[in-house]
Amino acid sequence: MNHGVGDRVEKILRGDERSASRLIRDIEDDISGTRELIRALWYHAGQARIIGVTGSPGAGKSTAVGGLIGAYIKTGQSIGVLCVDPSSPFSGGALLGDRLRLQQHAGTPGVFIRSFATRGVTGGLSRAVGDAITILDAMGKDIILLESAGAGQQDVNIAHHVHTVLLILVPGMGDAIQVIKAGIMEIADIFIVNKAHRQGASDVIRDLTELPFVSRANDIPWTPLVLSLPDCADRDAFAVAIDGVAAAVDDHYRDMVENGRFGARLRRRAYYELSDAINWLVYGSLMEKLSRTGEIDAMVSRIVERDDDPYSMADTIIREQGRSVSFNVSAGRSAGGCNQNNDDGHQKNNGQRDEEIDGAQ
Amino acid sequence: MGTLRIMIAKPGLDGHDRGARVLARFLRDSGFEVIYTGCHQTPEQIVRAALQEDVDVVGLSCLSGAHRYLFPRVVKLLGEKGAGDIVVIGGGIIPEEDFVFLSDAGIRAVFTPGTPLEDIAAWIRTHVTRNGKESASVE
C-alpha cells in the first residue's frame, strides 16, 4: 500500500479535492495504510485557523457556518468545512443535512465542504475529524470550520480540535441556572445567541453577560464574548451580524496570541490527536485482535462465572502483550483544560485502567 | 467495506422535494449515509458536492420535465472530473419513452412514482460497491 502514498500526498498538497475527499473516506472506513498519508501530511499542516461551531439541534449551527463562509470568502481566504450529523443507532445509516444550508457555496472556488456521520462515536463528532482537519490544513485551507452534531451539555469534544469555540444558543431553553451549569457552557470562547428576534433573547444575553463568566479552559482569563444573530430571513441584517462574529473570532485569536495562550491551544489539540492515535493504534488494535481470536469471549465467560475479575484480566492481557500501557494518565494532567476523555468511553476505561496498572507495577 | 454514501439532489427549478426526502429517510433507515442537498441545484453544484463528499451514488430527482437536460449533464460533468465511477440514478416524473435516452446518457437506473422504496435500496445494494476500492490509484 506504500505504493502511491507520495503521489496521493502530492495531490492533496496541491489542493486536489477528490484526493482529499477520498482520503477522508479511507480514514473513516479505516482502510489499511491510510495513516501513512496522515503521517506525511502532518508536517505540511499547521497554518490554518480552526474554528468550532457547536450548539443544540436546530440552534442554527449550519446557518451560522454558511454565513461565516460568506464572510471569509469576502476576505479572499480559502475555507474548509467539516460538518457532523448523527448516525442512526438502529440502522447505522445517517441523513447528513448540514449541506442544505451551505449549498449556496458549493460552487465557490476555494470552499471545500465535507459531511460526516458520527458512526457510533459519542461527543458530537466523528472519529475522522481530527485527521480530516490535518488533511484540509495541508491542502492549504486558511480557515477550517468544524461543525458538531447537535450537542448536549457534555459534548465538549469539539474543543479538543479547534482554536476557537463558538457556542450557539437560542432563547427559551431554560433559566439562568442553565447558563452556569458545567460542561458545554465552559468551552465557549464566544457565545452566539441566535434567533435573537424571538422572545426571551434579551434574557439569555443578560444571563450570559451579567455573570462572571471567565473561561477556565486555559487557566488564563478570557471573558467569552456574547454576540447575537437576528432572524436569518432578514438577510442583510444577518450578514452584518455574521461579519461581527468573524471579527470576534479574530479578536479571540489576537487575544490568544498576544497573551501567550495560543500555544496552550496548540498543545491541547496535539494532546488529543496523540491520545486518539494511541487509543486507535494500541487499544483499537488490541481489542480487534482479542475479538478476532475469540479470546475476548473466553475472558467474558470467566468474568461472568466469577473465575476472574475485569481488572486482573486486563492486567494479564497487558502483561501478555508485553507493553506498558501507561500512556494516558500523566500526560493528560498537563494538557490543560478540558480533560474530559473523549470518543467512545473506551478511552475513559483505559485511563482508569492505567492507574490501576501503574499502581500494580 | 465501509458504509455506502449516497447523495440525493434536486437539480434545476423544481421545489417539490417530498419524494426526495422520503427516499433520503428510507435510505438512512436502510443503513446508508445520505447527503441531502436540497432543491434548486445546478449540475455543477451537484458534481462538486459529490466529489467533496466522496459519494458512491448520486440520486437525482426531477419533477419538472427538465431531466433530459439535467441528468445527462451531471453524468457528463462527473466524467470530466474523473469521477465517472460514481453511479448516477434518477427519479421523478419521467416518461417511459425517455428511459432509453437516459440510459444511453449514462443514467444507470430510473425510478418513477409507485416504485417501492425497498426496490431502490435493493438496486443500490446489488449494483453499487464502495467506490475507489483501488483507492491507491485514485486519480
Supply φ then ψ for residue A141, to 5 degrees. -70, 135
* Residues A137 and A237 placed together within one structural domain of the fold: yes
* Residues A155 and A244 placed together within one structural domain of the fold: yes
- CA-to-CA distance for A185 and A165, rounded, in angstroms? 10
Q: Is the pTM of this model over 0.90?
A: no
* Residues A113 and A128 placed together within one structural domain of the fold: yes
- Tell me whether residues A17 and B130 touch, CB distance under 8 A: no
- The CATH code of the domain that includes A79 is 3.40.50.300
Listed in order, strand segments (DSSP E) in A91-163 are 94-96, 111-117, 143-147
* Residues A286 and A164 placed together within one structural domain of the fold: no
Domain boundary among A260, A276, A300: A260
* Residues A326 and A274 placed together within one structural domain of the fold: yes
* Residues A36 and A103 placed together within one structural domain of the fold: no
**Residue A330 pLDDT greater than 50, yes or no:** no
The pLDDT of residue A207: 87
pLDDT band at A215 (very low <50, low <70, confident <90, very high): low
Q: What is the DSSP letter of A160?
A: G
Q: What is the pLDDT tens value at each position of chain B, 139 positions in all?
A: 579 999 999 999 988 899 999 999 999 999 999 999 989 999 999 999 999 999 999 999 999 999 999 999 999 999 999 999 999 999 999 999 999 999 999 999 999 999 999 999 999 999 999 875 433 333 3
With contacts defined as CB-CB under 8 Å, which chain A residues touch B3? 29, 92-93, 117, 119
| Chain A residues with a Cβ under 8 Å from any Cβ in chain B | 1, 3-4, 8, 11, 17-19, 21-22, 24-26, 28-29, 31, 33, 87-88, 90-97, 99-100, 103, 106-107, 112-115, 117, 119
Q: What is the DSSP letter of A345?
A: S
- Tell me whether residues A18 and B30 touch, CB distance under 8 A: no
- CA-to-CA distance for A13 and B123, rounded, in angstroms? 37
Cβ pair A87, A259 in contact under 8 A: no
Q: Which residue of B has its CA nearest to A25?
A: B54
Q: What is the DSSP letter of B42?
A: -
Sheet holding B33-36, edge to edge: A94-96, B33-36, B5-9, B57-62, B87-92, B109-111
* Residues A203 and A76 placed together within one structural domain of the fold: yes
Domain boundary among A260, A286, A316: A260
Cross-chain CB nearest to B3 (options A3, A92, A99): A92
Residue with cell 450570559: A208
The neighbour count for residue A178, using CB atoms within 10 Å, is 13
- Indicate the number of domains in chain A: 3
Task: Report ipTM for this prediction.
Answer: 0.91
Structural domains of chain B, ranges and CATH numbers in brackets: 5-137 (3.40.50.280)
* Residues A162 and A205 placed together within one structural domain of the fold: yes
- Structural domain range at position A32: 1-44
Domain boundary among A205, A231, A260: A260
Cβ pair B19, B92 in contact under 8 A: yes
Q: Which residue of B has its CA nearest to A27?
A: B2
- CA-to-CA distance for A21 and B28, rounded, in angstroms? 21
Cβ pair A49, A250 in contact under 8 A: no
- Tell me whether residues B32 and A18 touch, CB distance under 8 A: no
* Residues A2 and A52 placed together within one structural domain of the fold: no
The reply to whether B83 touches chain A by the CB within 8 Å rule is yes
* Residues A174 and A157 placed together within one structural domain of the fold: yes
Mean model confidence pLDDT for chain A: 85
Which residues, 6+ apart, have CB-to-CB distance to A81 below 8 Å? A65, A69, A102, A111, A112, A113, A114, A144, A145, A147
* Residues A170 and A217 placed together within one structural domain of the fold: yes
* Residues A40 and A65 placed together within one structural domain of the fold: no
pLDDT tens figures, A176-190: 788 878 888 888 999
